[in-house]
Amino acid sequence: MGDQMSGRCLCGKVSFTNKSVHDVGICHCDMCRRWCGGPGMAVHIKDKPAITGEDHIKWFKSSDWAERGFCAECGSNLFYRLNLETPEYVVFAGAYDDQSVFKMQNQIFIDEKPAYYDFAGDIPSMTGAEVFAMYYAESNEEGERESQP
């Protein structure tokens, strides 16, 4: 598909394209598991994707630092948006048309992962505290934020 990837919600009212990214991160936090019905598997694309049908997206503020976007028609989970000075976007991997290009890159909130599942392979893993510390350090270096995400 070249340097662009496309995806959509289940009903097709929302579609999107973004620069090609192949690294999938797995999030085991309680919010992602409730949102996705299992671990959140997503691609961190940083910039806002080009969206068609944006008026069908409903945003839910799930924390002080992020919102989750879904199709108001079919309920498909599509986006996770970090509310930074310049918002960063994460797209749930299952929304992409071609998922054959993805490679599991890392796991976060490994300390919240329930015991009933495990992923094969040895990939980098971070606890929730390590994730917050990373974002806090990046924010202070860039002078963008003074509090943790």
- Tens digit of each residue's pLDDT (9 = 90 or more) over 22-48: 999 999 999 999 999 999 999 999 999
- What are the extents of the domains in the chain? 4-142
pLDDT at 146: 39
Which sign does the torsion angle of CA 104, 18, 84, 139 carry?
Answer: positive
User: Which segments within 1-149 are labelled E, that is strand?
Assistant: 4-8, 15-19, 23-27, 40-46, 50-52, 57-61, 66-71, 77-82, 88-92, 103-108, 125-126
d(CA 72, CA 29): 24
d(CA 75, CA 4): 25
d(CA 65, CA 6): 26
Tell me, yes or no, if the pTM score tops 0.75.
yes
CATH architecture of 4-142: Beta Complex (2.170)
88-141-24-15 Cα dihedral, nearest 10 degrees: 10
Structure tokens at 125: 């893993």
Number of H helices, E strands in the chain: 2, 11
pLDDT at 148: 37
d(CA 32, CA 83): 17
Helix (H, G, I), strand (E, B) or coil at 12: coil
- Tens digit of each residue's pLDDT (9 = 90 or more) over 89-98: 999 999 999 9
d(CA 4, CA 18): 6
